[in-house]
Amino acid sequence: MTRHLVVVGHGMVGQRMVEALTDRDTKAEWRVTVLGEETHSAYDRVALSRYLTDPAAALGLVSEGWYDGGRRTCHLGDPAVAIDRSARTVRTAAGRELTYDALVLATGSKAFVPPVPGADLGGCHVYRTLDDLDRIRAEATSARAAVVVGGGLLGLEAAGGLRDLGVPVHVVEFAPHLMPQQVDAGGGEALRRLVEGLGVRVHAGVGTASLQSDADGRVVSATLTDGTVLDTQLVVFAAGIRARDELARSVGLGVGTRGGVLVDRSCRTEDPAIWAVGECAAVEGSVYGLVAPGYAMAEVVADRLLGGSGELAEPDMSTKLKLLGVEVASFGATQGPLDVVFSDPVAGIYKKLVISDDARTLLGGVLVGDASVYAGLRPLIGRALPATPETLLFGEVSVADDAQVCSCNAVTKKDVVDAITEQGATDVPAIKACTRAGTSCGSCIPMLKSLLDECGVHVSKALCEHFAYSRAELFELVRTSDIRTFSGLIAAHGTGHGCDLCKPAVASILASLGNGYILDGEQAALQDTNDHALANMQRNGTYSVVPRIPGGEITPEKLIVIGEVARDFNLYTKITGGQRIDLFGARLDQLPQIWKRLIDAGFESGQAYGKALRTVKSCVGETWCRYGVQDSVGLAIDLELRYRGLRAPHKIKMAVSGCARECAEARSKDIGVIATENGWNLYVAGNGGFRPRHADLFASDLDTETLLTYVDRILMFYLRTGERLQRTAAWLESLDGGLDYLRSVVCDDVLGIGADLDASMAAHVANYSDEWADTLADPERLARFVPFINAPGVTDTSIEIVYERGQPRPARPGELPLEVLPR
């Protein structure tokens, strides 16, 4: 007999509960209906701040079609508004009436807004949902400054997001130090220094007394309890959460003294048919605001609904995260009988272990500025110290088999080892698939890598089956030898004839080392499709052309030429996010004609088709902007002309912002430069795309000459050591020692290769040649650009397009073209 389960709430924990029940319910005993208040499917609220700066970030937790309308149904934007316990029914805002055999409350929490006069003014927001962040992002574009009320986890995440949007930020925390729930006073002070060093002003030990408005009812300033007045047009409340227990209260269910639906350790309320999980639940009076306890509750309820006897163990409240680029972690107790503390105020590092009074047991700890040992220390809570405290703080840690290495998903070391040794997991993605470890907050991933090593699993870095070397190793083989062809390289150091993996990689290496025109000789057969045509192939077989516009600066005359080319060749025209104009729809045989028109007007190849420098984006800087402090356009042009044509393991994007408002979005680029009144701040290894990452601050207040030297060396070191299709973000993470190691190579020249890197870049700058112009100058090279080799005068008439919004575009599959244009 099928039973009916209604889940009120479609957040992370509610979704996990349904998934856990589905995995266990092999006999299809339960039919599940989920009611979601938001119009979005369940998403990763832990990664919410990513969405503030990148609305395209993929946070969804529900795959398409998972709610099939049969065994599982989900109603979005239709919250439960009433429960009838005697009839066991739930009524929704849309008027649905659902009968249940079991009801799970997973309503989560709401943001707490302190009783501050003016908290309801325009420009005041909470930081809780995707819709909240949409509103904050929209108003940040015009805000001169922002105030974040709350200096805990969420408050610092909000501050980081606003800063990344280019808004100067103040953080107001009522407690004496930041993150009072997670770190002690020493850690809080270290965190404050690091955060303020990144440009966020911290006001600790004070509250927000009132907010003032203009005539339109919008906030214009905030007055603190110490009398300080802060200019602000945007206020974000991130001062804590309150359990969403309204439904439970309305039907007489017990609630905790500080809110939350009272449940026992099985997560059942006083009504045997009703359960509560996540932030709305008060387990024996305690509400837990982290995802790991919520997931544990979800597993317990799923077990109980199928007749099990699961109970919630004492939750692990450990946290590790990166706030404003600063690593922060706490685990177990943050205060105790004995403390072992290491503090380096200059480097911004604070580490503390809390130890039992007999100095034998680890009770907890706090890590600020360097949390590299967190993954090894957290599983040791409550266990005998395996080594001296100073060894634990700075060395390798041995973890017992039954210790949890992933607290979010309750995965032990043994679970991971079994996945490696018995289920054949040979890398981190495979471990994730087998165990779920590393799929939530990700803080245990370093430990997963260590366990792979411990189990003797060697992950090969061989480029492919034809070379037993990594890309970096092949680069050195080519650089230090006379080999300048793929055939010579594979004969000397490989086997077989090569493949689609190694051929383009070697082609890039040869191009990086100045091996001439990329389509001469056997090099032509090595190239990817785009490089082969010196243009970007589109889905209908046509190509796009992106002329270089250094720094985004362009004259009216050049704009007119681009317009004329687009008109004359009937091309779709699009302004890109990198301040370029993309012309779509050119046939292969038209490319040389288009290039000639553009080159005659002073353009050159933008090399958007290559794994090379794409663009250097800029704002208008001090030349026009009232906030600008340096000539960002001039520097962007210099950078683009210096590094144009530089072939690399992957594409490279750069940007230069003329002030801290960051209008050029430099921190989302592989190389980002932000002007200061004293020079330039250099950021490295940011990128958008499939896995967005903000760049890390590499050096501050640089003069232009030093900046160029550092960028030269960073790029050349990346060219030499990066792996195939490895963006700078992944490359930096792969370096042993990360950012500090890169600084030591570039700034301190610890490897003694600085002069060599400088010379390599100087050779690239001196030998640059425009590939479009080189092609036009040689009839043999031009012969490649015909659609039919055996009929050079015949054009391809099979391309069908339609008009949309006044421009031509490819006809979609099955779409009847409205007009087939003459080509």
Q: What is the pLDDT of residues 613-666, one digit of tens each?
A: 999 999 999 988 988 999 999 999 999 999 999 999 999 999 999 998 899 999
Average pLDDT, the chain: 88
What is the rounded CA–CA span in Å between residue 319 and residue 341?
A: 19
Measure the CA–CA gap between 309 and 55, rounded to whole angstroms. 42
Within 10 Å of residue 767's Cβ, how many Cβ atoms?
A: 10
Report in angstroms the alpha-carbon separations of 66 from 20, 32, 209, 322: 14, 12, 48, 32
pTM for the predicted model, two decimal places:
0.55
Q: Tell me the per-residue pLDDT of 307-316, one tens digit each, with 9 for 90 and over.
A: 999 999 887 7
* Of 154 and 450, the one with more pLDDT: 154
State the greatest distance between any 2 C-alpha atoms of the chain, in Å, as a whole number.
90
Both structure tokens of 111? 């943001």
Answer for the pair 543, 588: CB distance below 8 angstroms, yes or no: yes
For range 284-306, the mean pLDDT = 91
Return the minimum-mean-pLDDT range out of 269-278, 745-754, 774-783: 774-783
Rounded to whole angstroms, how far apart are CA atoms 171 and 164?
Answer: 15
pLDDT at 385: 85
Q: Give the closest residue to 694 by CA, choosing from 336, 165, 276, 224.
A: 165
The better pLDDT of the pair 159, 324 is held by 159
**Got the DSSP string for 672-738?**
EEEEETTEEEEEES-B-TTS-BPPEEEEEEE-HHHHHHHHHHHHHHHHHHPPTT--HHHHHHHSTTH
pLDDT, residue 784, reads 79
Task: Kindly state the tokens that stand for 574.
Answer: 């699009």
C-beta neighbour count of 668 within 10 angstroms: 24
Domains of the chain: 3-109+243-305 (3.50.50.60), 124-239 (3.50.50.60), 318-397 (3.30.390.30), 399-459 (1.10.10.1100), 471-527 (no CATH), 610-769 (3.30.413.10)
Interval 455-474 mean pLDDT: 81
In this predicted structure, what is the pLDDT of residue 734?
81
Instruction: Please tell me which residue, 170 or 794, carries the higher pLDDT value.
Output: 170
Tell me what pLDDT residue 789 has: 44
pLDDT of 793 reads 54
pLDDT of 392 higher than 90: no
Inform me whether the pLDDT recorded for 820 exceeds 50: no
**What are the pLDDT digits (tens) for 5-60?**
999 999 999 999 999 999 999 888 999 999 999 999 999 888 787 788 778 767 88
| Whole-angstrom distance, CA of residue 789 vs CA of residue 792 | 6
Alpha helices, H only, 480-601: 486-493, 502-512, 529-533, 556-568, 591-600
Tokens 């001039």 sit at which residue?
Answer: 634
Per-residue confidence band for 403, with pLDDT thresholds at 50, 70 and 90: confident
What pLDDT is attached to residue 430? 82
The winner for highest mean pLDDT among 43-57, 176-190, 491-505, 694-708 is: 694-708
DSSP for residue 557: H
Residues 424-428 have a mean pLDDT of: 82
Q: C-alpha angle with apex 627: 624 to 633, nearest 5 degrees?
A: 45
Better pLDDT: 822 or 314: 314
Nearest C-alpha neighbor of 615 from the set 573, 582, 587, 566: 582
Taking CA atoms, 474 is separated from 79, 523, 527, 722, in Å, by: 59, 16, 17, 11
Predicted pLDDT of residue 460? 65
- Which pLDDT score, from 0 to 100, does residue 816 have? 52
pLDDT at position 811 is 75
Q: What are phi and psi of 99, to 5 degrees?
A: -90, 140
Range 419-422 contact pairs with CB under 8 angstroms and sequence separation of 24 or more: 420/451, 420/452, 420/455, 420/457, 421/455
Phi-psi group of 333: left, alpha or beta (phi > 0 → left; psi -120 to 50 → alpha; rest → beta):
beta
At residue 818, the pLDDT reads 45
Which is it for the CA torsion 392, 393, 395, 401, positive or negative?
positive
CA distance 785 to 778: 12
Q: Which of 170-179, 366-375, 734-743 has the highest mean pLDDT?
A: 170-179
Q: Which of 632, 700, 688, 693 is nearest to 664 (CA)?
A: 632
User: What CA–CA distance (Å, rounded) separates 429 from 646?
Assistant: 32
Greater confidence (70 vs 363) lies with 363
- Tokens standing for residue 697: 């601050």
List the one residue out of 433, 421, 428 whose CA is nearest residue 375: 428
